[in-house]
A and B are shown apart, each in its own frame.
Chain A
Amino acid sequence: MTATAPRATRAALPDADPSPLPPTVPARVAWLFGGLTAALLGLAVVAAGSGHLHVPPAEVLGGLARGLGLELGPEPSHPNGYAALWTIRFPRVLMAMLVGAALAAAGALMQGVFGNPLAEPGVVGVSSGAAVAASATIVLGVSVAGPWTTAGAAFLGGLVATFAVYALARSGGRTEVVTLVLTGVAINAVCGAVLALFTFLGDTQEREQIVFWQLGSLNGTRWAYVAIVAPLVVVGLVAAGAMARRLDLLALGERSARHLGVDVERLRVVAVVVVALLTAAAVAFCGIISFVGLVVPHLVRMAVGPGHRVLVPASALGGAVLLLAADLVARTAVPYADLPIGMLTALVGGPFFLWLVRRTRRQAGGWA
């Protein structure tokens, strides 16, 4: 079937595209997945091999093999080489992939379910909602569920924020772009205020942690955190993948989708929960990293079209590549220092967002 751009859900407006987007070309899809997978693996090796403590590539592989119980390759020559690889770099590389995949998939999902190209966890305030709830557990000293507390709170905060956006930005069965973005502005403002309040209430250490939430960073990733984030991301990605077909139908318009047997309301609610889950997984330990969910799905759409069955998994893969690359820059660009990764993604994503707004304005006469 032919999927159209999410924009077309607003049936009231004529589709400005001269022709419906062509059906997904299998060869292109194969190339995209092949390319992204290769890039991901290549980057992972590079990322694992670069850092302040120098470990040559052969020793990285040797260290990896030893950690997995194989006696292959040379052992890291630095006394702490092995420890640096296994306690600092590998968890961080894995975390970057997981978080990137989660954010990009959440973005793709949100754009599909809102029928709106600007929906993105960071832009509409889901990330900050999650961050507020997570900081609340820090400042108020809540730890009912042990290490899961922060992640759980982030999920609840993200869920509340997503539902709030959903409820506030929809009217008459559709989501207007301006309303959505303005809702996001409002939610981000409220969350920013609450974060500021927590900053005021917290002591020095808590304050530092909250600033960390606001900027986003993968510094200090531990296996324990990866173990919490990984299952959440896997569940979220599987659920997102399972929804892809129905999202394609939804792109035809709500009525058409309903006629084709899609329970639209249920689909939306489930999608919102999955978005909150994926965002919370990303935010729980890494803070707010914005624009990944915006940039990646758009790039994927440009390459292979808007069909969700390709879009969702390809976005996840692309998000992993993007964030892995961004994190590599974040921790190696300045010697010793660790740049906030949220700053990097926003630096790239912000202009992209503007470009997107202008382009859409040209093509469709704006979203007003």
Chain B
Amino acid sequence: MSSRPVRRARRALDAPLALLVAPLVALVLTGCTALGPGGVVEQGAAAVDTTPLSELDVLDDPREWTGETVARTAETPVAPVADDPQPRLPVTVTDAQGTEVTVTDTSRILALDLYGTLSRTVFELGLGDRVVGRDTSSTFPEIADLPLVTANGHELTGEAILELAPTVILTDTTLGPWDVLMQMRDAGIPVVVLDPHRSVETSGDLVRSVAEALGVPEDGAELAERTQAEVDDVVAQVAELAPREKADRLRVAFLYVRGQAGVYYLFGEGSGADSLVESVGAVDVASEIGWQGMRPVNDEGIVAAQPDVLLMMSKGLESAGGVDGLLERLPALAQTPAGENRRIVAMDDSQILAFGPETAAVLDALARALYAPESVASGAER
């Protein structure tokens, strides 16, 4: 895959011994050749490298790497902040749209959004056993058996929701049609709308809003704190990995591609991608040129931005025919360092911009893919 010089420590492999000697070896070994792809046998989600960030073999210059990488988070089981939370109800909240909603019963919860963040939050709050359905993006094992209420990708189905007889619906505006949610309000089900604008900085607020609407504000505060602490920890560790000088930092563009019909969106300020990129110590080229929100980008825009790395959603990349298909369809990419080096970091569509309780894990996985691609390189093989 790569034969670039790396400042490396042999990674902790299967043998526990390796784990012990790893830090030592890190000091000794420099510039050794790359591990062959067969060097580590990795299968499925279990394959995710869990070496602490600080012990990773980091590239001398993160630009000196060719090839695509798939960033994966380790599958972490739900770790509720409370075992048996006791919601204090009824609770009246003013939701993100300014609507006053009174929640009187949280025995049957539906939490739906584009990334599955809200459902994960409800589970982390310890209210998972009350969740009665899920959206397509919620796929963690604890929820995977529940019935779907989104059809056709991300379209809500009114009757499927009513069939589950939820007593409260938490959602944001990323799933539609909006009228279906209005129908649910017509049917007497309280619908709490949360802020659809996500970022690393606001993930705590989101957790708090969810908890408040479900009558467990204390647990919410605890979870928000935990989330924030985890994020802060990762951000601090990443800061050690990332180049100190701003000029040396990776220039990253978040490119959203869907299908082969020329849908190329560049995600900029306020899309969440900006805060994600900055949190992993890279420079968001879209915000640099003042790109607002999520908008289609043309060839010249991509060339002018000169990204070193493209951040993409895995299924999006797949739908464009993988890296080869993408480069073929977007020849302008070849004029950028990212295209020249095939330096594309893909991550699961439902994770990369989720910004929920798993934010820290996402940042961690991205940092590995950016600064120590060696540790996740086998992902590119699939």
Question: Interface on A for B, CB 8 Å cutoff?
Answer: 51-53, 78-80, 83-84, 86-89, 200, 203-205, 208-209, 212, 217, 219-223, 225, 334-338
**How many residues on the B side are at the interface (Cβ–Cβ under 8 A)?**
29
- The residue in chain A whose Cβ has the minimal distance to the Cβ of B159 is A52
* Contact (Cβ within 8 A) A87 B163: no
Q: What CA separation (Å) do A148 and B20 show in the bound complex?
A: 71
Q: Judge whether A205 and B176 touch: CB under 8 Å.
A: yes
A219-B177, A219-B180 known; A336+B151 contact, CB < 8 A: yes
Query: A212 — which chain B residues lie within 8 A by C-beta?
Result: 177
A267 to chain B, nearest CB (A): 38
B128 at the interface (CB under 8 A from A): no
Give the segment of B79-87, B181-189, B317-325 that binds chain A.
Answer: B181-189
Q: Is the CB of A337 within 8 A of B162?
A: no
Q: Report B177-214 CB contacts with A as 1/0, cut-off 8 Å.
A: 11110111011100000000000000000000000000
Closest to B181 in A: A220
Binding site for A on B (CB under 8 A): 148, 150-152, 155, 157-160, 162-163, 165, 173-174, 176-180, 182-184, 186-188, 293-296
From known contacts A208-B177, A336-B157, A337-B151, infer whether A223 and B163 are also in contact, taking CB-CB under 8 Å: no
Inter-chain contact A53/B294, CB cutoff 8 Å: no
B173: chain A residues at CB < 8 Å are 204-205
| CB-based contact B178/A220 at 8 Å | yes
Interface residues of chain B: helix, strand, loop or mixed (majority): mixed
Distance, CA A356 to CA B186, complexed state (A): 44
**A80→B163 contact, CB < 8 A:** yes
Assuming the contacts A52-B160, A78-B163, A338-B151, asked whether A222 and B294 have C-beta atoms less than 8 A apart, the reply is: no
A87–B165 CB distance below 8 A: no
B174 touches A204 (CB 8 A): yes
Given contacts A52-B159, A204-B174, contact A336 B148 (CB under 8 A): yes
Q: How far is the CA of A87 from the CA of B159 in the complex (A)?
A: 10
Give chain B nearest CB distance to A343 CB in angstroms: 12
Which DSSP category, helix, strand, loop or mixed, fits chain A's interface? loop
Question: Which residues on the B side are within 8 Å of A219 (C-beta)?
Answer: 155, 158, 177, 179-180
User: Contact at B152–A338, with CB atoms within 8 Å?
Assistant: yes
Question: Which of A53, A208, A221 has a CB less than 8 Å from the CB of B162?
Answer: A53
Q: Specify which chain B residues have a CB less than 8 angstroms from the CB of A87 in the assembled complex.
A: 158, 162, 183-184, 186-187
**Chain B: CB-nearest residue to A55:** B159
In angstroms, Cα B353 to Cα A204, docked, is: 15
One of B180, B188, B293, B294 near A220 (C-beta < 8 A): B180
Cα A56 to Cα B148 in complex, Å, equals 23
Knowing that A84-B163, A220-B179 touch, tell me 10 more A-B residue pairs with CB under 8 angstroms.
Answer: A52-B159, A87-B187, A205-B173, A209-B177, A219-B155, A220-B183, A221-B179, A222-B179, A336-B157, A337-B155
* B187 touching A83, Cβ below 8 Å: yes
Q: How far is the CA of A252 from the CA of B189 in the complex (A)?
A: 58
Query: Which partner residue on chain B sits nearest A52 by CB separation?
Result: B159
Flag if A84 contacts B182 (CB, 8 Å). no
- Within 8 Å by CB of B159, from A79, A86, A88, A209, lies A88
User: What CA separation (Å) do A221 and B174 show in the bound complex?
Assistant: 19
CA distance A217 to B176 in the complex (A): 13
In the assembled complex, the Cα of A84 lies from the Cα of B189 at a distance in Å of: 12
Q: In the docked arrangement, what's the CA distance between A205 and B193, Å?
A: 14
- Residues in B whose Cβ lies below 8 Å from that of A203: 293-294
Cα(A213)–Cα(B176), bound, Å: 14
Q: Name which of B159, B174, B296 has the most chain A CB atoms within 10 A of its CB.
A: B159
Residue of A nearest to B160 (CB): A52
Query: What are 16 A-B residue pairs whose CB atoms fall within 8 Å in the complex?
Result: A51-B159, A52-B163, A78-B163, A84-B187, A86-B187, A88-B159, A88-B162, A89-B159, A208-B177, A220-B158, A220-B180, A221-B179, A223-B186, A225-B179, A334-B151, A338-B152
